[in-house]
């Protein structure tokens, strides 16, 4: 896996408006500049928050990316939990899930 | 003495970005009232500039070239880097203080090898504090970063030394400088555990901080912090640096674990300048 390259892609995308435009118009072209596995490239192309979380992407850049994709906050949390269900525990990095997957905010549980 | 104010406050993006979702609006507004009180206290000291010791989140500094410490020297800054609609803070330019920054950097470098930057896009870690503390964006800002994102992280005793160096630098210039440290205490932000809070750990840390108990503050290992306070707990470096800069005990003005939708127990405190 190439977690560094994966996170570098998101770091650039989060701060570069030209990269953001290219991501929407020509994702393959933008992705070709990075050394990624097929799984990683697919996750980025599909905006697969759950898989990116499991692959170990830093939560802060993942959160910015989700906002860029227009994903609402509670949906973002659910997508990460779904990623754990589908793919198993976080494989790398410090952003592992340490709770049982339940919500901590009444605003989420009562929505 | 030209450090005229020192304090700490929370910076979680939910504080502005998810304000509209909060059910306990009285508690939220109580928090906002304490930020406003902090703004008034800072304004009353008549500062020429505001130093913000922050823990940014891979917005400017990445693992291709990660500084342990960095001080901004730009004429202006831009923020927020995030989607403004998501953070609910409009994107704008923020005035810097480049000449003052250079003089501070020169003095800090007498003891700490800080990096410096003439480009800096503020993320929520600075924009949320500014939203409450300088809502007109009319006070020049000098951003300071401590890497709390990408290990290996600077040891806590170096965060303390960095704070002391900032204090010495502030005291070497004629300008009146206010300084805030901004970070989280225990929290697991941007994970499915967002909203998890270790209140006992928080209160113990804040007690050490308010007593300015250097040895107790510097005794945490990163492994312990990660276990008890989450990856967000690494941001205690900003609070420790602010305390070291102040040099005096603090007063915890506000702490609430009752707004977990903000992903952290929100905190406001002020230190004596000693």
pLDDT tens, residue order, chain B (274 aa): 599 999 999 999 999 999 999 999 999 999 999 999 999 999 999 999 999 999 999 999 999 999 999 999 999 999 999 999 999 999 999 999 999 999 999 999 999 999 999 999 999 999 999 999 999 999 999 999 999 999 999 999 999 999 999 999 999 999 999 999 999 999 999 999 999 999 999 999 999 999 999 999 999 999 999 999 999 999 999 999 999 999 999 999 999 999 999 999 999 999 999 9
Mean of pLDDT over chain A: 94
The two tokens of residue B262 are: 């903000």
- Give the integer Cα–Cα distance in Å for B125 and B38: 17
- Contact of B23 with chain A, judged by CB distance below 8 Å, is answered with yes
Model pLDDT for residues A51-104, shown as the tens digit of each residue? 999 999 999 999 999 999 999 999 999 999 999 999 999 999 899 988 888 899
B44 phi and psi angles, rounded to 5 deg? -65, -20
The CATH number for B54's domain is 3.40.830.10
How many domains, chain B? 1
Per-position DSSP letters for B139-200, written without gaps between them: S-EEEEEE--SSSSPPPHHHHHHHHHHHHHHHHTSSS-EEEEEE--SS--TTSTTTT---HH
> A–B: how many Cβ contacts below 8 A?
99
Structure token pair of residue B128: 């949320």
CATH of the domain at A39: 1.10.700.10
B272 within domain boundaries: no
pLDDT above 90 as % of chain A: 86
User: Chain A contact for B198, CB < 8 A?
Assistant: no
Range of the domain at B108: 3-267
Residues of chain B in contact with residue A60, where contact means CB-CB under 8 angstroms, are 57-58, 149, 189-190
Taking CA–CA distances from A98, the nearest residue in chain B reads B193
Residues of chain A contacting residue B121, judged by C-beta atoms under 8 Å apart: 15
Chain B neighbors of A5, CB-CB under 8 A: none
Partner residue facing A73 (CB), from B18, B81, B230: B18
Total domains in the fold of chain A: 1
What's the rounded Cα separation, in Å, for the pair B134 and B40? Answer: 10
What is the domain extent for residue A75?
3-109
DSSP state of B56: -
Helix/strand/coil percent split, chain B, to 5: 40, 20, 40
What is the pairing mode between strands B266-273 and B92-95? unpaired
Q: Which of B 135-194 lie inside 8 A of A, CB atoms? A: 149-151, 188-194
Q: Is residue B273 part of a domain?
A: no
**Contact predicate B126/B56, CB 8 Å:** yes
For residue B79, the surrounding DSSP H or E stretch is strand B76-79
Looking at residue A102, its pLDDT comes to 86
Instruction: Indicate the angle between helix axes B199-210 and B236-246, nearest 10 degrees.
Output: 20
Task: Tell whether A33 lies on the interface with B, counting CB pairs under 8 A.
Answer: no
Nearest to B125 by CA among B186, B55, B35, B229: B55
pLDDT at A99: 84
What are the backbone dihedrals phi and psi of residue B122, each rounded to the nearest 5 degrees, phi first? Answer: -70, 135
Measured between beta carbons, which residues in chain B are less than 8 angstroms from residue A96? 191
Q: In chain A, which among 67-96 make CB contacts under 8 A with chain B? A: 67-68, 73, 77, 80-81, 84, 94-96
Q: Does the beta carbon of B197 lie under 8 angstroms from any beta carbon of chain A? A: yes
Chain A closest-CA separation from residue B158 CA (Å)? 22
Helix then strand then coil, % of chain A, to nearest 5: 65, 0, 35
Provide the shortest C-alpha distance from residue B195 to chain A (in Å): 5
């Amino acid at each position: 896996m190439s977690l560094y390259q994966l996170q570098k892609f998101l770091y650039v995308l989060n701060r570069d408006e030209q990269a953001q435009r290219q991501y929407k118009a020509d994702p393959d072209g933008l992705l070709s500049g990075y050394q990624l596995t097929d799984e990683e490239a697919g996750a980025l192309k599909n905006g697969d928050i759950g898989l990116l979380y499991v692959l170990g992407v830093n939560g802060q850049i993942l959160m910015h990316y989700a906002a860029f994709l227009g994903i609402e906050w509670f949906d973002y949390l659910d997508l990460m939990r779904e990623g754990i269900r589908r793919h198993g525990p976080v494989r790398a990095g410090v952003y592992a899930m340490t709770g049982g997957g339940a919500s901590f905010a009444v605003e989420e549980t009562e929505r | 003495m030209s450090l005229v104010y020192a304090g700490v406050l929370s910076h979680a993006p939910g504080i502005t970005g998810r304000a509209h979702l909060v059910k306990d609006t009285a508690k939220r507004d109580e928090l906002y009232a304490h930020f406003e009180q902090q703004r008034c206290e800072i304004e009353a000291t008549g500062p020429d500039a505001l130093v913000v010791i922050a823990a940014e989140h891979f917005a400017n500094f990445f693992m291709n070239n990660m500084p342990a410490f960095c001080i901004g020297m730009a004429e202006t800054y831009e923020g927020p880097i995030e989607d403004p609609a998501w953070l609910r803070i409009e994107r704008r330019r923020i005035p810097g203080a480049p000449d003052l920054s250079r003089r501070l950097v020169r003095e800090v470098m007498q003891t700490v090898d800080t990096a410096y930057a003439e480009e800096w896009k503020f993320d929520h870690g600075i924009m949320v504090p500014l939203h409450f503390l300088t809502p007109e964006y009319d006070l020049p800002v000098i951003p300071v970063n401590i890497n709390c994102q990408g290990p290996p992280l600077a040891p806590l005793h170096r965060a303390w030394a960095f704070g002391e160096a900032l204090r010495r630098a502030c005291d070497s210039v004629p300008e009146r400088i206010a300084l805030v440290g901004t970070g989280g205490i225990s929290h697991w932000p941007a994970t499915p555990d967002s909203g998890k809070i270790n209140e006992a750990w928080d209160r113990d840390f804040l007690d050490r901080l308010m007593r300015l108990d250097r040895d107790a503050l510097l005794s945490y290992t990163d492994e312990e912090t990660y276990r008890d306070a989450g990856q967000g707990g690494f941001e205690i470096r900003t609070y420790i640096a602010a305390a070291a800069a102040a040099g005096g005990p603090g007063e915890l003005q506000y702490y609430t674990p009752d707004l977990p939708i903000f992903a952290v127990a929100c905190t406001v405190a002020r230190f004596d300048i000693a």
